[in-house]
């Protein structure tokens, strides 16, 4: 009864993760990961290289099959459903409607031989849009929102700079109004000034659209700016969780303290 | 006395191909893998089509081969001779007389009827290939009916050329389910893909067979604001005067003289025999 009332009041998590684990042979990728993500919340996952962030994100997003655990998503049609046991067809449908995935390397998330407009329009066409003019208008609108000029709409991403490619990838992902966005090191590999611009843009979009997101990064500046809550990972384990400011300003776990201080030294 | 089995292929191979054909007929537009055999001709010559023809051919059949609409190209003549030699079947250039027609790049102008079989030579059976090179992924897309990418291709066409510029191998949706490459026929022929005859598609190098049973619904993909248009040269045939046929542009002399003639040579000559004359028809015949 109480659960139902909470659900009706919109008080159900968007994503509920229970006991997620993934091994590579004897090596732990990630293990014993459990958390809730609430609508409109941005969760940051931080930790040094090799700590299991990408493994966890790929398991959450259905791109990697975990060995144990459940990933429950609040679907539009059926409420909380374990995305690991749903049919591949349903999971792929989620992947191009309610979910979005921003890859660290833009070329992994773009079609390099398709124009910017076609890249943004693909998700619209994937869900049945069949009016060229409408698709193009939406694509141009989204290019504008990620600060790519309209006259680049017919250019291919191969002609774009790294920062533009990443912004194009973001537009391509957000055009269908996803309810949950996964991002893996979205600012990784970019020049510092380009990173700053991208972060500002992401922060604007997150606020404007009320996005729910899970952002993986080794860069604490990214989560400081974007994340409401943090999960700190070490050797595949979550060692600390909490509100972003709390974790960064008053880290409890020795590893987090190290992580935070090493950033301060930089 | 005969070094080959009837129609060259051994019976076991023919049975294997027929099983693939039956599966293809049962699931219109679905690409069925088959174990393509070496044929005594290069792949570019339509070995997929030849194997399908061999598998469906009976001694009573009357065989016709067209290449871009013509019966007399080297390719068409060779394939026709091949089956004359290996199957001893009757051959014809008349569309109406043929029971099995093997084709490259055209559908005959004359409406085919029940009982006829049209066999296509297919170079690349996978319509999603050019945007998604992974075979694993394209198979999944077909299985899950994820065809957004096909419209991305058409979107790119319009973005670049102002219109859907694809004029050959124009993708179609079959019975509201599978997206299919109709082989490199001109899109002018697309409306004819819903027909009374059986249509069989064979890709030799790619080892795929697919099929359209009679009267299958075949719809050319398009956008609401850029509807499919079959298109046609703004001319009549200069030989027979036809205003409804697919035309080839032919250079007639070194002075830049050109004429438009039906690509379907049987259709054109039948019309001329029936007394139809195009603008240059008398001169051309004389
Ligand atoms: N495909 C793989 N095969 C074997 N081990 C892997 C594979 N991917 C990651 N790992 C290992 O799993 C651990 C976590 O890696 P990863 O999730 O990539 O961490 P992060 O994204 O935090 O750098 C590391 O020890 C890494 O070496
Ligand atoms: Mg990583
Ligand atoms: Zn003619």
* pLDDT at residue A9, rounded to an integer: 57
In chain B, which residues have their Cβ closer than 8 Å to the Cβ of A96? 148
Mean pLDDT of B123-144: 94
Give residues 185 to 244 of A whose Cβ lies within 8 Å of B: none
Interface test with A, best of B132, B156, B164, B227 (most A CBs within 10 A): B156
Given a cut of 80, is residue A266 above it in pLDDT? no
Complex prediction ipTM: 0.89
Size of the A and B interface in Cβ pairs below 8 Å:
58
Mean pLDDT of A135-148: 97
Which 3 state secondary structure label does DSSP give B207? coil
Give yes or no for a contact between A62 and A94, defined as CB atoms under 8 angstroms apart.
Answer: yes
* pLDDT at residue B284, rounded to an integer: 46
B29 has catalytic annotation: yes
Ligand 1 touching residue A22 (CB < 6 A): no
The C-alpha of B45 sits at a distance from chain A's nearest C-alpha, in angstroms, of 31
Ligand 1 touching residue A54 (CB < 6 A): yes
Conformation bin of residue B9: beta by default, left when phi > 0, alpha when psi is -120 to 50: beta
Helix axes A162-174, A116-126, angle to 10 degrees: 20
- Residue ranges of alpha helices (H) inside A113-159 are 116-126, 132-145
Provide φ and ψ at B283, rounded to 5°: -60, -45
Gap between the Cα atoms of A95 and A208, Å rounded: 22
Mean pLDDT of A252-257: 94
User: Structure tokens of B65?
Assistant: 């081969």
Mean pLDDT of B254-265: 93
Which stretch of DSSP H or E encloses residue B119? strand B117-121
Give yes or no for a contact between B208 and B32, defined as CB atoms under 8 angstroms apart.
Answer: yes
**Could you read off the pLDDT of A71-121 as tens digits, one per residue?**
999 999 899 999 999 999 999 999 989 999 999 999 999 999 999 999 999
* pLDDT at residue A8, rounded to an integer: 55
Q: CA A253 → CA A20, A33, A49, A260, distances in Å?
A: 21, 17, 18, 11
| A96, A121, A133 ranked by CB distance to B152: nearest | A121
User: Structure tokens of B189?
Assistant: 């022929």
User: Structure tokens of A13?
Assistant: 């998590």
Domains of chain B: 11-127+169-220 (3.40.50.11310), 232-278 (no CATH)
* pLDDT at residue A58, rounded to an integer: 96
**Could you read off the pLDDT of A3-35 as tens digits, one per residue?**
454 555 557 899 999 999 999 999 999 999 999
């Amino acid at each position: 009864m109480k659960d139902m009332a909470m659900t009706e009041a919109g008080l159900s998590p968007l994503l509920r993760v229970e006991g997620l684990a993934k091994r590579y042979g004897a090596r732990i990728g990630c293990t014993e990961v459990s958390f809730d993500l609430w609508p409109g919340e941005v969760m940051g996952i931080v930790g040094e290289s090799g700590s299991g962030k990408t493994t966890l994100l790929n398991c959450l997003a259905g791109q990697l099959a975990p060995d144990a655990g459940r990933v429950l998503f609040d679907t539009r049609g059926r409420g909380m459903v374990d995305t690991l046991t749903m049919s591949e067809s349903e999971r792929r449908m989620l992947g191009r409607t309610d979910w979005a995935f921003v890859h660290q390397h833009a070329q992994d998330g773009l079609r390099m031989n398709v124009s910017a407009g076609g890249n943004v329009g693909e998700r619209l066409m994937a869900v049945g849009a069949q009016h060229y003019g409408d698709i193009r208008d939406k694509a141009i609108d989204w290019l504008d929102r990620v600060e790519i000029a309209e006259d680049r709409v017919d250019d291919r991403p191969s002609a774009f700079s790294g920062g533009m490619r990443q912004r194009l990838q973001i537009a391509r992902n957000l055009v269908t109004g996803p309810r949950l966005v996964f991002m893996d090191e979205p600012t990784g590999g970019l020049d510092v000034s380009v990173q700053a611009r991208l972060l500002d843009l992401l922060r604007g979009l997150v606020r404007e659209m009320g996005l729910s997101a899970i952002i993986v990064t080794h860069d604490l500046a990214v989560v400081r700016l974007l994340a409401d809550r943090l999960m700190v990972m070490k050797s595949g384990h979550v060692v600390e969780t909490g509100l972003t400011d709390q974790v960064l300003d008053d880290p409890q776990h020795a590893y987090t303290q190290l992580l935070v201080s090493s950033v301060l030294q930089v | 006395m005969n070094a080959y089995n009837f129609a060259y292929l051994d019976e076991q191979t023919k049975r294997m191909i027929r099983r693939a054909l039956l599966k293809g007929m049962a699931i219109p537009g679905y690409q069925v893998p088959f174990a393509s055999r070496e044929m005594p001709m290069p792949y570019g010559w339509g070995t997929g089509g030849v194997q399908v023809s061999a598998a469906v051919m009976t001694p009573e059949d009357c065989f016709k081969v067209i290449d871009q609409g013509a019966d007399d190209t080297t390719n068409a003549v060779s394939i026709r001779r091949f089956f004359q030699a290996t199957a001893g079947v009757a051959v014809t250039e008349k569309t109406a007389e043929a029971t099995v027609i093997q084709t490259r790049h055209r559908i005959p102008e004359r409406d085919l009827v029940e009982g006829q079989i049209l066999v296509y030579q297919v170079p690349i059976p996978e319509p999603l290939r050019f945007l998604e090179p992974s075979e694993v992924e394209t198979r999944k897309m077909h299985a899950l009916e994820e065809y957004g990418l096909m419209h991305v291709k058409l979107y790119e066409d319009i973005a670049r050329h102002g219109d859907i510029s694809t004029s050959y191998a124009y993708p179609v949706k079959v019975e509201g389910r599978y997206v299919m490459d109709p082989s490199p026929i001109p899109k002018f022929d697309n409306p004819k893909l819903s027909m009374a005859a059986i249509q069989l598609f064979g890709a030799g190098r790619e080892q795929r067979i697919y099929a359209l049973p009679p009267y299958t619904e075949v719809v050319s993909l398009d956008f609401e604001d850029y509807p499919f248009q079959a298109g046609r040269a703004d001319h009549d045939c200069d030989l027979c005067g036809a205003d409804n046929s697919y035309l080839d542009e032919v250079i007639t002399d070194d002075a830049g003289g050109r004429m438009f003639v039906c690509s379907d040579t049987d259709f054109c000559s039948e019309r001329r025999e029936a007394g139809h004359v195009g603008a240059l028809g008398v001169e051309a015949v004389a």
